[in-house]
Structure 1
Amino acid sequence: MAKKKQFVTAAAAFAVAASAVAPAITADAASTTVRLSSDYVRGGDLDAALDKEYKGSEIYWYKSSVDMNKLGVFQTAKGFVKGKGIRVEKKLRVLNHAQDIQPEEIVLEEGVPASGLRIQPVLFADGVKYNKVVTYAGFSTEKAGEFEGTFTYSNKAFGVVTKTVKYKVVASKVELSEVKSEVMDDVLSVTADVKNLKDGEKVELVVYANRDMNAALPAVQAEVKDGKLSVKSGKLPAGNHSFILRSGEVKTDVMNFVVEAPMVKDVKAINGKDHVVEFNKSVDKITAENKANYEISVNNGAALAAAAYTVAVDEKDPTKVKITLADGSALNNGAYVSVKVKKAILDKNLKPLADDFTKTFTFVDNSAAEIEKVEVDGSNLKVTFNDYVSAVGLVKVNGVVKAATAASPYSKELVISGGATGLDNGTYSVQIANVKDIANVNSAGVASPNLTTFTSGNFTISNVTVAPTVSKVEKVDEDTFKITFNKAVTQPTVVAKKNGLDLSVATPVTGAGGKEWTVTVSNNGGVMLYNTGETSVNLALNISAFKAVSDNVVGDAVNQSVTLSKDTAGPVVEARFNEIVDADTTATVDEVFNIKFNEVIQNAVPANIILTDKDGIRRAVSSATIVADANGDLTILQVKSTAIQSSTAPTTGSILAGTYTLSLGAGTVEDMAGNDLSSTTVSFTKATGTTTDFAVTATAAANVITLPFGTPMTNSAIDLSNYKLDNKALPAGTIAYFDGSKQQVKIELPAGTIARSQDAVLTVSSNVVSEAGAKLDTASRNQVISGLLDNVKPTLVSAKKLTSTTVEVTFSENLASVTDAANTQDDFVVKVNGVNFAVSAVTDGTANDNKVVLTVSDYNVDQALTVAMADATINIADMANNTVEAKTVVTATK
C-alpha cells in the first residue's frame, strides 16, 4: 500500500514539473485546454484583444463569455481551436469604452442651416452618458418631413461608435414685426417686416369692424417681396376698427385704427377775401362747389348772397376748398365771421359729411402786403403782391412818377404804365408809397395815412425791342390750326398750300391777348382740303406781316407746316356738369341730369336714353335737349324726367338721395362732324339734403323686433353687424329684412337664443342711416325691447331610481304644472336592460319646479334603466310653453 501512495505523489510531482516546462497547456482525460496570455480590452474592441489562431489554426471564441459592461476585473474568454480538439481560454480586463450615441429628439427648421448637432450624449460601458464631440452626415433642411442621418464618435482610447438616427424638419414659424398702418381715403394700408415665410404660405390682413372680434371682414392676402409686406383693405365704413396680420397659426397683436367719417377739419381766413375750408378727405367737386352747401355771415348779419363769393376745389389738393369773397364783401380788420359748411357735401366716394360744421372767428390781419415780384408786361410793368391791395399812393420807376392801375378795387396785381413809348432797355427799381391791404394794414402794421414805401429789387428790361417770332403751330380740329407767338402781335398774313396749291384761308382770329391766332382753311375751287378717301393732310404755311403790339417791331416771315386730320371719333362724356337738379316747384317736378361732352354736339335722340333710379327701377325720360355751357358752346345734353318723385305732391328738393344711371345708346348725340356717340353709361349721385336726425321706437312680439323708421333707409338698416342685443352681437341665425317698404325693418331672432323672458336693450350703430343721410338721434341709439320670450327648449338632464317602481327625472329648467295623463305618460320612454317599461303615472310633486316622478312596472334596481323623451309630440313644457327637447336620453342612477 505504501508503495502505491508513493507512486501517485510522484506522478503529481511529475505533472507539476511538466507544467513548469509548458505553462500554457493543461491536460485531462477529455480534452486539452490552452490558457493564453492575459490582456486588456481597449476601446470596446473585443476582437482586437483575442488571439486569431493557435499554432497556425484558427480560434473560434465564444463572445458571450465576456461581459463588455463588466469593468475593472479579469474575465475568462473561452473558445476552441477549430479541428484540433483543443480548448482555449484567456484572461481579459475590459476597459471603459463608448457603446452608443443617444441624442434627444432632433427637430430642425426648414430652410435654416442645421446647428447644435456636434455635441451629443454618448453612453459608455460604465453606464454614464458623456457629452462628446461627434461628426454627422445626412442632415438637410431643404424641405420639411422625417429623415435619417448618422452620428459618429471616434476616440483612440474609447473606440468608435456610429449611430443612425431619425430627425424632423419642420416649417419655421413666420415672424411679423414692425407693423405699421395708415388710413387714406377710407382704406387701411398695412406694412410689416416678414421672416421665415415659405413657398405656399401667405399672410393675410383681417379687419374687425367696430372692433368686434366676432365680426371679421373677409381676409385680404398681402403682397410680400424681399421680406417686406404690404396690403390694403377695401373701403371701410367710418368708425373704430381693429386688425391683425396672420399666417397660419401666427398672429400679430390686435391693433386699433379709426376710419374718420368725412368731416371739416377747419376753416381759415387767409386774408380779407380768401378763405380755405380744410376737409379730412378729398371732396366731390360738384357738391363741394355748390354754394347752397355754405352759409357765410359777417358781423351777425344775414347770410351772404351766392353772388357775394365764389367756391372752388383746389385742383392740386382736393381736400381743400377755396372761398373767395367778392370785393364788396371783403372783410375789414376786426370783422366777426361765421362760416357754416353743410353735411350735404360729399367726399370723393360720395359719402356725406358726418355733420354740419360751423366756425366763428374774428378776422385779424396785422401783416402788411409785400411785393412778391415785378415783371415786364408788354410795354408796362406788373407788380404782384402777396395780398389783395386796397389803396396805392405814389408810384415811381427809377424815381419818375408813373401811372398805376389795379385789375379791380381789391387786386394782387398792379400794372405800372410804361408811357406812350413803353419802357426802354435798362435797369429799373420800383417805389410804391402808402400801399394798404384789404384790412387797411400798411407796412407798419396799422391803418395810417403816413406814406409807406416798398422798394423792389433792381431788375433789367432786355426784351422790349426783340422781334416777335412764331413759337409753335398746332392743330385745333380738322380744318383749323392755331399759331402761337412769343409776344402779342398784330394780325398776321397766312398762306396755306396743299401740294403747292393755295387753299382758302379765313381771316385769323386773335386770342390770349394777341399771342395766339386761330386760322381756318377750306377748299379753294378745285383744290380740296380733303380729297375723297383722305383722312389727313399736311399743309405748308407762310406766316408774315406781323409786328409786336408793344413797340411795332416787325417779325420776320416764317415757313411752317401743320398736319390736319379728319375727326372720326364720336363725342365723349367729359364729366358730370352738375348734380341732379329740381327744375321747378310745380305739381310735376322735372329732375334734370346735365351731361357734358368734350365737344359741341347735335341731334339728340331721347328714345335712346334709359334712366334707372336708385332702386334699379326704370323711369321715363321726359326730354333730352342740348344746351350751352358756361362758354356758350353747345356741349351739354340735358335729360329730364318727371317720374322721379318722393311724394305725390313733389316740391323742389323732393328727389330721394341715391345713385341714378343714364344709359346712352349709340347715336344718342353726334358731334358737328356727324360722328355718333358710342354706347355709354353715366351715373349721377343725388347728394343728401339738409335732413335732420330722427327718432324710432322699437317693439317686439314673438321674438321679432320691429323698427318703424318712418323714412326710407339704406341697406345699413338690415346689416346685422349694426345691431347688438344686451351689448352682444345678434345670435347666429338672426335675419333682418325690410317689411313692406324701406321705411320699416324687422329682426327675427332664431329659436333657442332667448334663455328667459325679459326686457333687453337693442343698440343701433351710428352706421345706420336713411337714404337722405340722416341718422338716429342719440335717444334712439339704445332701445329697450319688451316682450322677448324664452324660446329655449328644456332638456332632460338626469334620472334617479327611487324605488323598484318609481324614477325621478330632472330637467334643465322649471316646468309648467305637469298633469298625470296618457299624453304626458307617453312623453317618456323608459327601458330596463333595453326592454320598454310603460309609464303608468307622472307625479308632479312640487309644481313649477324642474322634477317629476315616473311610475313604472316593478323592476330590479340593479338593472340598467334609461329614460328618454319620445320622438312624437311632447306635451311637457317650461314656464314659457317651450316643449321639452325630443330624443334626449339619460341613464338613471341609484
Structure 2
Amino acid sequence: MAYQPKSYRKFLAGTVSAAVVASAIAPVASASFTDVAGSVHADDIATLVAKGYIKGYADGTFKPNKSLTRGEAAIIFSRILKDAGVKAEQGAGFPDVPASNAELAEAVAIVKAAGVMGGDEKGNFNPNATITREQMAKVVVEAFKLTKPANHTTKITDLDKAGAWAREYIQTLEANGVTKNTEFAPKQSVTRGQFASFVVRAMDVKKEVSAADITAVKLVDDKTLEVTFNGELKEVKKEDFAIQGVEIESVTIKAAAAAEAKTTVVVIKTKTALQEGKSYNVSYKGQTTDKAKVDVPVVTPKVESVSAINAEEILVTFNKNVDSKTASDVANYELKINGVSKTSDIEKIKVDGKTALIRLKDAVVFNSGDKFVLQVKDSVKDYTGKQIERFASDEITFNVTTAPKIVESTYNGTSLQLKFDRPVGTSVTLIKVDGVALASKSLTAVDDDAPGNYVYTVSLTLAEQKLAGKVGTHEVVIFDLVDTKGVLPNKASVATSTYTVTQDAEAPFVKAVKALNANKFFIELSEGGTTVTNASFTIKKGNYTFAVGGNNSQLATDVGSGSEKNKVYYEAGTLDGKPGYYVVITEPATGELNPLYGKDENSVTLNVTFENYKDSSNFIGAKYEGTVTLSKDTNKPKVEKTNIDTTNKKLLIDFDGNLSVAPSMSDIVVRNKDGVIITPTVVGLSSGADTSVVEITLSDVKDEPYTVEFKEGKVQYAVVKNSVVGYNLNANKNDAFTVTVKSTANNFFKYVEFTGDTPTVVSGSKNVIEIKYGVEMGTSALDVANYSLDGKPLPTGSKIDFFGDKKTVRITLPEGAFVTTTSYKLTIKTDVMTKDGVRIVGDLQTKTPYETVLTLTDNVKPVLQEVKYLIVNDTDTTTTKLLVKFSEALKSGVTFDTDDFKVTVQGSTQTIASISNSKDDDEYLVIVLSNTVNVNQSATIEIVPEGSLNSTITVVDPADNKATGSATATSTTKDAKGN
C-alpha cells in the first residue's frame, strides 16, 4: 500500500467524528433530483451531496439505479480522501485515463496514493468499467480500514458465489453493519444509490482501537509503562491489558488528542517490578504486536546529582529508585562543610523514589559561599538490592542570591494557602489581603518537608474569609518573611503574591467522613466557605438519635455539663488544608441511657446524615448518608529506646509519648547484669515539656546492661494518643514488662541534648541587656558570637559578663550604637549551653533558637555642631543672641541650666542670661547673653563637662543622652530661616 499521510491516518482513526459531522448535516431534499424521491437510498444520497462528495447529472437527475463505474467511484472517493489530506501521487497516470480529463486523472492519482484502488495486470485503470458489489466491498473496507471481530459468524447465504479473495471483505462489511442483506449478490454491479448507502454506513462505523494500533511502549520506571495507541480510547480497563509474568496494578488514560493525530496514551502501573535485561510484550484484549514490545535496559545504580536546595537541605538524585532503608540511613553518607565533618549534624533523610532529601540539624546551616562535599557510600542499595556506585561530589559552593518568596497563593474557603520556595519562619510582622491587615501574624506549616513544595496556611476570621473569598483577583502581602535558617539574604522585607477567585458554578458535596478520635470526626467538603442553614447533622447509633446541640466555636471544650451532655456539636474548620466540619459527641450525664460507648465497647459505628448546607454562592449541597467508625485508643505506653547516663548516675527509659506520672520505687525492680536487685535513690520523669523519659537514679552506675521490671498499670500516657474533648476516657496503662537498659553510642537524645528551660530577657539600664537563664551556664553563654540583634552580630565593643551568679548574663552594648529608640529582635543561638552541655532553645519541639523582641534606647549623644549670631539684618553689628545647632533633636519641655554652657568672646567669658528652644526646630537652642557683643568677633560655645560647674546636664535628647561638643560663631549673615 502506498504511503498515507498522518492527516489521512487521523481521518481513518476518527471516523466516529466524521459520522457525527455527517449526521449533523440535514439531508438535501430528494426533490433536488427529479429521480430520487421514494428511493431507499434518498437520505444517504442527500448526506453525501450535502458534503460535496457526490453530484448528479446536468439534466437534474441522479440516476440511483445506474451501475457505478470505476471512474465515478474514483472521483467520489478522491473527494473524501482530499478532505483527509491525501494528495495525488506523482507519475500515477494510467494509459487509459486521458490527461485531458483533469478531474478523473487527479482522482485516479489520489485513490492510488491512498491504496484504495489500482490498475489491472495490464496496467490499465478501466475507468468506464462497472464495479461489482464484491469489488466495492474491498474498496470500502480498504478505504475506511474496517476490521472484522475474530468471533464473527456470517448470515450471508450466497457467500460461496463470491470470489475467495472477496469473502473476508464481504463479511467485514456485514460485521460493521455496512451491508444488511443476507443475500449479498457479489457478482452484480453496484448501483449509484447502493454506493451512497455503502459509504455513509462505513462513515458511521465506530472504529475499535486494537493492539494493532499500538505505536509505541515507553519505559518510565521499573513499575510504569506508557502505551501509545493510534486512535481514541475513552476508557480503559485493567483486565484488557496483560504482561506475561507481571501483575498489573492499574491502568489510566494519561493523554488524548495529540497535536497531529488522534492518539491515546495509557499509563500501566505494575505491582511487580520489571526486571532489567528482559523484554516484555504488552497485549491488549488478547492481542499484541512487535510495536507493543519494550526492553528494560540494565542500569548501573549511581548518584546522578547533588545540590543544596536551601540553607538546610541537600538533595541527592539517583538514576534508579532506591531502597528507602539504606538510602535513609545517615551512616551511609559523609558530609563536610568548609572542610569540617558535619555528618553527625544530619538530622534526617527523606527518601522518595529516586531522591534522598538530607535535612541538617537546626544548629547547622549553609551560609552563602560555604563549600561542601557529600559522599554517598556503596552500602546504599537500589530497590532490587544492588549496591549504588560509591560517589563523592566535587566541592560545591552554596550561594543564596535571593530572599524567600511566595511561589503561589490560593484561598480554600476558610484560609489562605501559601507555597514558598523554601522553608520559612512561621512568625511574620504583618499579613495583608487587599491592603487589609489580618488578625493573624503567623503561618502554619502544612507540608514543609518536601523539596520545592513548602506549603503553609494562614487562618482567617469570618470577616476576613468574606474579603478573601470575593470573586476577583486578590493581593497577599507579607512583611518580614524569613527562611528558617537565617541565611542571608534570608529576609524578604515585603513578599507579595496574587490569587484569583472565580464565580462558583458547582454545588458543594461531601468528599469523605474521617474518624479523628473516640468521639470526634471530620466531614470533608468539596469546597470551603460552606455554611449550615439549620440543624443538619443527624447522628445515630442503631435506632438511637443523638440530640444536636448546635454550632459550638470551642468544639465542645466548654460543654459536657448539665443539659449539654450527650449531644452533637459541630464547627466549620479545615483538616490538612481541606475544608469541612468537625463533629463532636459529648459525654452523657451520669446514669443517662444510650451513651456513645456501651460497657466493654472500644469502637462504635455511627450512621451520619448531613444536609441543608450551601456554599458562598448559595448552591445547596447534596444530602449525604453514610457511616463512620470511632474507636477508643487501646495503645499502651511502649519503650522506644534506653540509655545509661553515667555522669548523673541515671538509667534513662524513653517511652513513645509523654507520661502522666513517674512510677514509684515500689512499682519497679532494678537488677544489675548479675541479677542482683538494686534499690534506686530517686525515680522521676524528665523535666520540661517532654515527660516521656523515666529517669532512675542509682547510688552508683556502671556502663553495663541493667534490667528494669515494671509492674502492670504503673505507666500511663499523660494524654491519650487518640485524645478527646469533652469525653472522659481514661489513659491506657501498661502491661507488666521488663526492659534492658544499655548505653548507646549516640547520647544525643532529646532529653539530654536540649533543655526545656526558657531564658528570660529584660532590658536593664541604657546599653544593658540582662538574660536570666534559670540554670548555671557554661562559657558559651559569654560568647558574643552566640547572640545577634535583628539577625546581625552585636555591635563591636559589646561585652558579656555573668551577673550575680552563673544563671544570669549581662550584655553591655557600646555607647553610640543606637541612634533611635526602637524595637530589636534578640536571638540566642542554640550553641549557648548550660554548664552540663545542654543546649538552650526557644522551641523544644522544633529546636529553634530563642528569640525575643526588646526595646533598646537611643544612646548617641547630641553634638553641638554650629553657632550663629542671631541678628535682624546684615547691617547689625551687635547682638545678645546666639543660635546653637545640635546633631539631633533635643528633648522638649526641658528648662535648660545656664551652667551647662560656657560662652567666650575673644577669650573673655560671658554671662548667660537665658537659654530656650528655638521656635523653628527641636535641634536648635537660643542663648541670650547679659551683655551685647560685637558680631564681627569670634565667639566660642562649649558644653560644660558634667561635674565642672554643676552636677546635672540638662541639654539632652529624648532618650536623656547628655550633649557634648563645642562650636565657634563665625557667620555674620542670616540663615535660610532669617535667623
TM over 0.5: no
State the structure with more CA Rg. 1
TM-score by length of 1: 0.30
- Bigger strand share: 1
- Bigger helix share: 2
